[in-house]
């Protein structure tokens, strides 16, 4: 994956920029030593690395504003970073950029149960938000697999979802307001503690903008009362295509589970070995969870299992206890880590219509043989957000390039099937050169004109989202 060459003029003024930052930042908030900077050379897309010029870790919105004003004056690129869990290279630095991490912005600023909102600094982790309110019977709905570590800032940047997004939606459906600092240091407030703000939907523009428009330092989030109860059912099938057809039929029937998760054999085995979740020995597994009162749960699961039986499942088993349910979900949440223990892989993030699942899964299997690389599938089947894991050997020359080519073909397949390039991981560097597959030149131009308004010098999160040749021309204009 190509990255732009560093600008010698920016590197030449590194000492001056650092001196200006040292005037107001605490010593521990400015990282200039090369060995310490190396910890920020990549995010969770570890195949690509670059040591940044410096790293800053502010603790307040005011510090963020001062940092950005200096970088704006000096024309130094800035890469916003949450917890570094991006699987699309969304926080990959360039050699002439400064990483601005929000990890120290971790305060809870307000909790209002009457209006069902919580306002937090965006360095707070996803799971910590629920942790703050669960003793009072509330929770924060978006739940990415990395929720233990991922920051709210990154969730907003990539519009993250999670296993329960089928019922509760992704970040944009649970985000009510933000405090954002623009590249010139201007602090703006968008939205608030109410459902819809007047005027243009700028909040909808910011959520999913991948750090291209500003640095979000505070967020007002929707919290919800915890459901009365929830219960998952495990469904094992003898092929991925049959499991995909079952998902399509469940959605077609008008049932709305809180989650429908899919795993194929390689992923099932890795997760079972890791979490001992009690998964069946089968080619494909669905985890379908419903919630409500006991009567509601029984009714919904009755209909869902009736649909599943039409597809001749090799196993159909409801959870019998809260402990068993936790194990089932621990296995699913551990999927990426469990696979990482046994193989190098690249995780994709295409989205397709649910009705296309059988065809796309079959075609991925065919392409796997064509490219000579195995694939493990784990994804949010209910809304068609696929996460194929392409297995490769990082130490074998040519394997990474073959993996990239295979991944590009899978993402093109998603678009051809009526879907899109990303569901929740974002574009980052991984998909930027595929943007023309989904968008016409006029569409890309409209998106870039929005960036021109917020970041006219194109200093925020360089080399991401837009094809390199187009963004380079924009920066030079």
- CATH number assigned to the domain with residue range 230-336, chosen from the 4 options 3.40.50.2000, 3.30.70.2190, 3.40.50.300, 3.40.30.10: 3.30.70.2190
Domain 1-226 fold: 3.30.465
For the segment 376-409, what is each residue's pLDDT rounded down to a tens digit? 999 888 888 999 999 999 999 999 999 999 999 9
CA pair distance 367, 351, nearest whole angstrom = 18
Closest CA to 339 of 426, 267, 283, 404: 267
Provide φ and ψ at 271, rounded to 5°.
Answer: -70, -40
- Going from N- to C-terminal start, the domains of the chain cover 1-226, 230-336, 343-416
For the segment 86-118, what is each residue's pLDDT rounded down to a tens digit? 999 999 999 999 999 999 999 999 999 999 999
In the chain, what is the straight-line distance between the N-terminal and C-terminal CA atoms, in Å? Answer: 24
pLDDT-derived band at 477, boundaries 50, 70, 90 = low
Provide φ and ψ at 193, rounded to 5°.
Answer: -85, 45
Provide the pLDDT for residue 2: 76
pTM over 0.85: yes
Q: What torsion do the CA atoms of 173, 174, 178, 181 make, to the nearest 10 degrees?
A: -70
Strands 259-264 and 284-291: antiparallel
For the segment 9-23, what is each residue's pLDDT rounded down to a tens digit? 999 999 999 999 999
Q: Does 471 have pLDDT greater than 70?
A: yes
| Sequence-ordered strand ranges (E) for 245-367 | 259-264, 284-291, 315-318, 344-347
CA pair distance 398, 66, nearest whole angstrom = 44
Provide the pLDDT for residue 99: 98
CA pair distance 268, 231, nearest whole angstrom = 20
Fold agreement between 230-336 and 343-416: yes
For the segment 165-191, what is each residue's pLDDT rounded down to a tens digit? 999 999 999 999 999 999 999 999 999
Closest CA to 285 of 360, 326, 323, 335: 335
Mean pLDDT of 20-39: 96
Provide the pLDDT for residue 9: 95
- CATH number assigned to the domain with residue range 343-416, chosen from the 4 options 3.50.50.60, 1.10.357.10, 3.40.50.1110, 3.30.70.2740: 3.30.70.2740
What sign for the dihedral angle of Cα 46, 51, 57, 62?
Answer: negative
Provide the pLDDT for residue 38: 97
């Amino acid at each position: 994956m190509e990255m732009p060459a560093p600008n010698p003029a920016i590197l030449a003024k590194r000492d001056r920029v650092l001196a200006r930052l040292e005037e107001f930042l605490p010593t521990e908030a400015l990282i200039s030593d090369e060995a310490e900077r190396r910890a920020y050379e990549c995010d969770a897309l570890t195949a690509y690395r670059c040591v940044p010029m410096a790293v800053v870790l502010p603790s307040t919105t005011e510090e963020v504003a001062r940092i950005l004003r200096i970088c704006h004056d000096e024309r130094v690129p800035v890469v916003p970073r949450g917890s570094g869990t991006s699987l699309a290279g969304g926080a990959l630095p360039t050699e002439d950029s400064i990483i601005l991490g929000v990890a120290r912005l971790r305060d809870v600023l307000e909790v209002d149960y009457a209006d069902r909102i919580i306002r937090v600094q965006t360095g707070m982790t996803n799971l910590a938000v629920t942790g703050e309110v669960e003793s009072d019977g509330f929770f924060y709905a978006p739940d990415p697999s990395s929720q233990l570590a991922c920051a709210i800032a990154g969730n907003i940047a990539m519009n993250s979802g999670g296993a329960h997004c089928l019922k509760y939606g992704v970040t944009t459906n649970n985000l009510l307001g933000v405090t954002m600092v623009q590249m010139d240091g201007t602090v703006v407030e968008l939205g608030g503690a109410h459902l819809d703000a007047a005027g243009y939907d700028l909040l909808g523009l910011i959520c999913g903008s991948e750090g291209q428009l500003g640095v979000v330092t505070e967020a007002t989030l929707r919290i919800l009362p915890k459901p009365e109860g929830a219960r998952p059912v495990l469904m094992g099938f003898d092929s991925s295509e049959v499991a995909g057809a079952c998902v399509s039929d469940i959605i077609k029937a008008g049932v709305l589970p809180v989650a429908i998760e899919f795993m194929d054999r390689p992923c099932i085995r890795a997760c079972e070995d890791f979490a001992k979740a009690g998964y069946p020995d089968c080619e494909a597994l669905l985890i379908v969870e419903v919630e409500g009162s006991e009567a509601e749960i029984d009714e919904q699961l009755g209909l869902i299992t009736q649909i599943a039986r039409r597809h001749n499942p090799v196993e159909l088993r409801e959870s019998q206890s809260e402990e068993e349910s936790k194990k089932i979900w621990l296995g699913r949440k551990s999927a990426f880590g469990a696979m990482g223990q046994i193989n190098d892989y690249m995780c994709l993030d295409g989205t397709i219509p649910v009705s296309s699942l059988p065809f796309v899964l079959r075609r991925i299997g065919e392409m796997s043989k064509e490219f000579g690389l195995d694939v493990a599938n784990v994804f949010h089947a209910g809304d068609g957000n696929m996460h194929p894991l392409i297995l490769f050997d990082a130490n074998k020359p040519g394997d990474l390039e073959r993996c990239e080519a295979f991944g590009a073909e899978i993402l093109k397949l998603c678009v051809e099937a009526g879907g899109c390039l990303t569901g929740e991981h974002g574009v980052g560097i991984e998909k930027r050169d595929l943007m023309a597959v989904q968008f016409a030149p006029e569409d890309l131009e409209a998106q870039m004109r929005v960036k021109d308004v917020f970041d006219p010098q194109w200093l925020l999160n360089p080399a991401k989202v837009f094809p390199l040749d187009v963004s380079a021309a924009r920066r030079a204009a």
